Amino acid sequence: MSFAQIWHYLGRLAADARFRFAARLIISGVLVAVALKAANIDRVFSTVIQVRWLPLAAAMLLFLMASTLVCLRWRLILNRMGLTLPLPWVVHLCFKSAFVGVILPTSVGGDVARAALLRRSGAGWGLVGASIYLDRFYGLVAIGLAGMPGLVIVVAMDLAPAWMALSLGAVLVLPMLILTVAAILSSRLRDLPSRRTGLFAGLVHLVKDMGARVRQGIVSREVFAPAVVLSLVSQTINILCVSLLGLSCDIKAPLGVYFIFTPLVWLASLAPISISGVGLREIGFGLLFRSVGLSFEHGMVLGGLMSAVTIATVVIGGLVAMVIPMAAGPSQLSGSGH
């Protein structure tokens, strides 16, 4: 078999949804196995069996609240773009798409599923893509801003050297800067002449439309201020959720540790290489806890609880969304926003 044939075969495998799901599942398993190998199994087991259920249940409710605020943020962005949707419909759509992205063995991520479902309401692809782009952008803004107080606390309490705090701060703001630059560059395409026809012209028009909408969504005060506030409140609730998970397994860590480490681990879990971030959270919290003199095993258990709460909330919300019909059908929605 020639190199070209091997490359073609690998390309077909990569295009197969079941292969990608299996690959992510294997990667999650390998990451968890690596974390377990680096940990004291007896200590991990003793920490797990001593988990208190009341803080765990409270953390799950907080995570559900934070998820609802994220849905409200996306609805705000859509409304400012001219697409008016009832909040129950948006929440229904978000949980259904998250369920598809996490559970089903397909290549369709949560954002792609969300785009496809929203497209059924009659919205144009430019509006759909720009709204999801902006939703992710403001989520990353919140991750960066929420992590900054934690950086100050970590340095002030001498939990980590200044160089490490600066490095973590750069990691927090880098994705946000990348999305900002991408939005600026795409909006510049509005001056690109569309001399060609067919698929190329369609793609250029789509990128132009998305770029203009994204730029407008970033510079508009009506969108920026409330979206940032909702994002910060949601991210703060997520951090408090993780601190409750730490309380449930009796982790003695300052609140500042959660404020800096939770956004970092949350950011790492967005990498599409595992099933819903499983394995990434466990290793992430374990290594970060160890770096400031805390227990690797406690960090690993905390990451596992965070993964469990995330998946459980998405599964429960997704199943409810699958069973209960949407509050309004696409034909009843106003402002198609083509």
Label residue 301 by pLDDT band (50, 70, 90).
very high
Token pair, residue 234, equals: 């949601």
Q: Identify the pLDDT of residue 326.
A: 64
Separation CA 27–CA 6 (nearest Å): 22
First to last CA, the chain: 49
Q: Identify the pLDDT of residue 241.
A: 93
Question: Looking at the domain assignment, is residue 338 inside a domain?
Answer: no
**Mean pLDDT, range 146-157, rounded to an integer:** 69
Q: Cβ contacts of residue 42 below 8 Å, gap of 6+? A: none
Question: Looking at the domain assignment, is residue 195 inside a domain?
Answer: yes
Question: Looking at the domain assignment, is residue 337 inside a domain?
Answer: no
Closest CA relative to residue 94, chosen from 80, 77, 119, 111 = 111
Out of 11-20, 109-118, 128-137, 196-205, the most confident range is 128-137
61 in Cβ contact with 85 (< 8 Å): no
Predicted TM-score of the model (pTM): 0.75
**Mean pLDDT, range 40-69, rounded to an integer:** 88
Label residue 69 by pLDDT band (50, 70, 90).
very high
Across the strands, what pairs with 84?
A: 334
Looking at the 3D structure of the chain, how many domains does it have?
1
> Could you report the per-residue pLDDT of 77-92, keeping only the tens digit for each?
888 888 888 888 888 8
Question: Looking at the domain assignment, is residue 206 inside a domain?
Answer: yes
How many whole angstroms from its chain centre is CA 36?
25
Question: Looking at the domain assignment, is residue 151 inside a domain?
Answer: yes
Percent of the chain surpassing pLDDT 90: 10
**Mean pLDDT, range 68-83, rounded to an integer:** 88
Question: Looking at the domain assignment, is residue 103 inside a domain?
Answer: yes
Mean pLDDT, the chain, whole residue set: 76
Give the structural domain span for 248: 3-328
Question: Looking at the domain assignment, is residue 85 inside a domain?
Answer: yes
Question: Looking at the domain assignment, is residue 334 inside a domain?
Answer: no
Separation CA 288–CA 304 (nearest Å): 14
Which is more confidently placed, 13 or 96? 96
